[in-house]
Amino acid sequence: MGHLLKMTNVVIEGLSGTEWTPIVKGVDLHLNRGEVLGLIGESGAGKSTLGLASMAYTRQGCRIASGSIVFDGMELTTAPRHVLRNIRGVRIAYVAQSAAAAFNPAHTLLKQCVEAPVQHGLMSYQEAAEKTVETYKRLLLPDPEQIGYRYPHQVSGGQLQRAMVAMAMACQPDIIIFDEPTTALDVTTQIEVLTAIKEITRQFRTAAIYITHDLAVVAQLADRIMVLRYGELVEEGETRQMLAHPKEEYTRALLSVRKQQKPSSPAALKEKPLLEVEGVRASYTKGVEVLHDVQVRVKPRTTVAVVGESGSGKSTLARVITGLLPPTKGRIVFDGQELSADLKSRSRDVLRRLQMIYQMPDTALNPRQKLRTVLGRPLEFYFGMQGKEKTDRIVELLEMVELPPEYIDRYPTELSGGEKQRVCIARALAAEPDLIICDEVTSALDQLVAEGVLKLLQRLQDKLGISYLFITHDLATVKAIADEIVVMCQGRVVEQGIKEEILTPPHHEYTELLLSSVPEMDPDWLDNLLARRARRRARKPSDQGPRKPMRQPAPAAASFNR
Amino acid sequence: MSPLKELLLKRIAFGALTLIVISVLIFVGVELLPGDLAQAVLGQSATPETVAAFRKELKLDLPPHVRYFAWLSDFVQGDFGNSLANGRPIAGLIGWRFANTIFLAATAAAIAVPLSILLGILAALYRNSLFDRIISIVTLSMISFPEFFIAYILIAFLSVKLGLFPSMASINDRMSLWDKLYMIILPCATLTMVVTAHMMRQTRASIINILGTSFIEMARLKGLKRLRVVVLHAFPNALSPVINVVAINLAYLVVGVVIVEVVFVYPGLGQLLVDSVSKRDIPVVQAAGLIFATTYVILNLLADILAILSNPRLRSPK
């Protein structure tokens, strides 16, 4: 008996304009029963395309041009539609990156989870429903009997992702394709999902292809790893082997990403603060407070990282500081001078000195404006620059962010993600600000690209003396760039101080949870962590684990408890 | 109050406001007509005394806002006033004709709505196929012709040449339902042809729009049949725009049948409206206008409410 799945010299092409260009360029892949294979690489490496091809499925505008895909002795590339239909969802199942997008908003969870077994005539609705509830229990979903009757928008992201694992398990498939199932999640939620996946693949000896760009994540699950780049195989090997002795330069680069560190500069931290946020409270709808009494200080020429899970109020804080959302209470002092709460009544000079960079460079740049316009606008607006003076300055800005001057007449769509984010940085720099608020600026970027952007931001700070308020949920980023750290949880600051102090134990309970949840490049990390947490829970039976108190979803309830 | 209730109440309040604005517009529009109404009705030869007496009878001597509120409050209570042409109560004139109009519109809708949604789903399912193109060409050509043209073509072929169906849709109360349905086959077919294209195109477009989402990819990767993917996964999410277009077309069926009614000499409200305009029977025109407007607003209101209810996010909040 050969491999469960064997792909040989698979070429997948995508239609760009009127031409077919290869996305996957002749890759061989094999998977044995019960084995977990990690597929890693940056975006555009062809991981998802290859993963989907294992069910002989291609997205709109793509085709399998050549090669063979053999599953359990069947050639899939030439198989008729009804044969493929009886494999998809039954013997090979798929778990998508965004559960929120992959669940149909019009139907309840249970209805979608039982659909495959019922439609393929494997089980009655009743049997399938019972089995699904079973799986919900195994995946530790809360209220497993009832949660299936909810609609996707009524459960949290992590729960939805686990429900999707349950949906994939419905027919007890031979293979599950996991396509970046934890990328959109917080570190704390990521652990829940990783645990669920590990549990289920072990218990049922399900083979899996785990697609991700995060080597540390895949290290927890995979027996074997394939590194892809530009649609080609870079390196393949046993997980431990590869982590210990990567052969290729590219793999080594991926491995070293998380190791970037900078010491905080104690001299700068003694100075008078540039920005002071004092006792700020804010809310979007009346009565529901999102920020409770938040204090943050940013010293000149330093970087303050604001960390916390999604929903902790980090981005709201940024909106309050920029004046987009006037606080209900508290004040914001900038360079010794109190800022008016509302953006509209701030002077042009204050606006200039406080700039912002967003998470999604795609949506932050007008696709119909050339970089000349994008970067020229702040120069005209703040400094009244025109003509040659303006053009010279734009070129200078492009050079500052390490982009070639020819880019001046390009449109944002002609740039890569990292380049676009550099344009956003240049746009903020054009105003010659004292403080830039960076809202998850590297979250949408690949790790190597993100690393480049972080290094650039650091160089600009050293050169121009800008301060950053750096909002992020990624602690590796924090280690790489911060002088001080502010830890936020449910709209409150739970801990604040110099980076080295915050990162050295003893930590605040919540900081500990965040720190311990960041995956490490150690294949045993997840098992050890879970064992440690289980031991702690056993020691303190009254305590339901560190996660419980953080999981109250309604900030309103929290504020009433005070 | 739940956000859903709040939303619904808001929509209903907006509907009521729209109606009030329309009633003002209708009233002002009639006020602005040149010349004196009494003079126009009584003719050149009337003595000033008769004109004055007639004006008093019509309450034209009162200031406009007083008359507006009197008219509106009467209207709301179901008293539409009397016809100028024959002095009979307007409610009696309008009542059965409006019922006829609704009968014709409802029959056309009962055929057109399921037909166009079915065609839309099929076109989305087999998009860019020959079948899709043929449906598109046929329905679009039908929407491109004016309805009277389609009506006369149908009469010429099906009624005059083949003698299959009556060309005059003159129905009355003594007829059985089947006889009535037989009489209105041609006007019904005309209306169906006119409204189908719009609804079918919208259904097709919104389904195709949904087919690009990742939950549809997920459904396909579960190995579901194509028909099931389109009908059960795509269509429920495409409902909201479809409902709106259906409502607009239903409103058109009720309001816009004037020409079709005239062509087929159908005793409906549209026919009455055309007659009354030519007879300068202003109160009838006003009443008919307001009834049409009310129908339009109510149908759109219903569409809004259904669209909201079809969205699980609004139907069952967190």
Domain of B176, CATH number, reads: 1.10.3720.10
Structural domain contains residue B253: yes
Query: Can you give the pLDDT at residue A207?
Result: 93
Q: Report the C-alpha gap between A469 and A478 in whole angstroms.
A: 11
Structural domain contains residue B231: yes
- Identify the CA nearest to B268 among candidates B277, B281, B255: B255
Structural domain contains residue B286: no
A167 chain-B contacts, CB cut-off 8 A: 222
Within a 13 Å sphere around the CA of A48, how many CA atoms are in the beta-carbon half? Answer: 15
Structure tokens at B150: 């389609």
Query: Can you give the pLDDT at residue A553?
Result: 39
> Does B108 lie in the same domain as B25?
no
> Does B41 lie in the same domain as B115?
no
Residue A29: pLDDT above 60? yes
Residue A562: pLDDT above 60? no
> Does B68 lie in the same domain as B13?
yes
Q: Report the C-alpha gap between A59 and A52 in whole angstroms.
A: 8
Q: Report the C-alpha gap between A257 and A447 in whole angstroms.
A: 7
The boundaries of the domain holding residue B48 are 3-76
> Does B197 lie in the same domain as B119?
yes
Nearest CA in chain A to B228: A119
Q: Report the C-alpha gap between A192 and A189 in whole angstroms.
A: 5
The bridge status of strand A19-31 relative to strand A175-179 is: unpaired
pTM over 0.80: no
CB A106 to CB B236 under 8 A? yes
> Does B243 lie in the same domain as B162?
yes
- CA A5 from centroid of its chain's CA atoms: 30
Residue A258: pLDDT above 70? no
Beta bridge partners of A6: A30, A70
Query: Can you give the pLDDT at residue A548?
Result: 38
Query: Can you give the pLDDT at residue A272?
Result: 84
**Number of domains chain B is built from:** 2
- Binned at pLDDT 50, 70 and 90, residue A561 comes out as very low
Structure tokens at A462: 């050293």
In angstroms, how far is the first alpha carbon of chain A from the final one?
64
- Identify the CA nearest to A441 among candidates A458, A422, A466, A460: A422
Structural domain contains residue B84: no
Give me the total of CB pairs closer than 8 Å, taking one residue from chain A and one from chain B. Answer: 76
From B76, B108, B123, give the residue that closes a domain.
B76
Describe the crossing of helices B90-125 and B282-309 by its angle, rounded to 10 degrees. Answer: 40
- Cα A180 to Cα A161, A437, B206, distances in angstroms: 11, 28, 29
**ipTM of model:** 0.76
DSSP state of B89: B
DSSP letter string over B249-263?
HHHHHHHTTHHHHHH
Q: Which residue among A86, A154, A167 sits closest to B223, beta carbon to beta carbon?
A: A86
> pLDDT tens across A394-404, in order?
999 999 998 99
Structural domain contains residue B87: no
Name the minimum distance, in Å, from the CA of A112 to any CA of chain B.
Answer: 9
Q: Is A154 on the interface with B (CB under 8 A)?
A: yes
Q: Is B10 on the interface with A (CB under 8 A)?
A: no
The bridge status of strand A175-179 relative to strand A207-212 is: parallel
Residue A300: count of CB within 10 angstroms of its CB = 17
Mean pLDDT computed over A203-225 = 90
> Does B174 lie in the same domain as B112?
yes
- Identify the CA nearest to B165 among candidates B146, B182, B188: B182
Query: Which percentage of chain A shows pLDDT scores above 90?
Result: 38
Structural domain contains residue B33: yes
Residue A550: pLDDT above 50? no
Structural domains for chain A: 5-259 (3.40.50.300), 266-516 (3.40.50.300)
B218 chain-A contacts, CB cut-off 8 A: 94, 96, 102-104
Q: Which residue among A85, A106, A107 sits closest to B223, beta carbon to beta carbon?
A: A85
Mean pLDDT of chain A: 86
> Does B123 lie in the same domain as B243?
yes
> Does B244 lie in the same domain as B123?
yes
Structural domain contains residue B318: no
> Does B239 lie in the same domain as B117?
yes
Residue B219 in contact with residue A104, Cβ under 8 Å? yes
Structural domain contains residue B125: yes
- Residue A213: CB partners within 8 Å, gap ≥ 6? A40, A41, A42, A43, A47, A180, A183, A446, A447
> Does B222 lie in the same domain as B151?
yes
B220 chain-A contacts, CB cut-off 8 A: 57, 88
Q: For residue A483, which phi and psi values (nearest 5 degrees)?
A: -100, -45
Query: Can you give the pLDDT at residue A356?
Result: 93
pLDDT tens for each residue of chain B, 318 residues long? 577 788 888 888 998 899 899 989 988 887 776 666 666 667 777 777 887 887 777 777 778 788 888 888 887 787 777 777 777 888 888 888 888 888 898 999 999 999 999 999 999 988 888 999 999 899 888 888 888 888 888 888 888 888 788 877 777 778 788 888 888 888 899 989 888 888 999 999 999 989 888 899 999 999 999 899 999 999 999 988 899 899 888 888 887 778 888 888 888 888 888 888 877 777 888 888 888 888 888 888 888 888 888 888 777 766
Sheet arrangement for strand A354-357: A354-357, A435-439, A467-472, A303-307, A484-489, A492-498
Query: Can you give the pLDDT at residue A549?
Result: 40
CB B313 to CB A151 under 8 A? yes
Q: Which residue among B213, B219, B221 sits closest to A55, beta carbon to beta carbon?
A: B221
Sheet arrangement for strand A19-31: A19-31, A5-16, A62-71, A74-75
> Does B164 lie in the same domain as B273?
yes
- Identify the CA nearest to A268 among candidates A492, A87, A466: A466
> Does B160 lie in the same domain as B21?
no
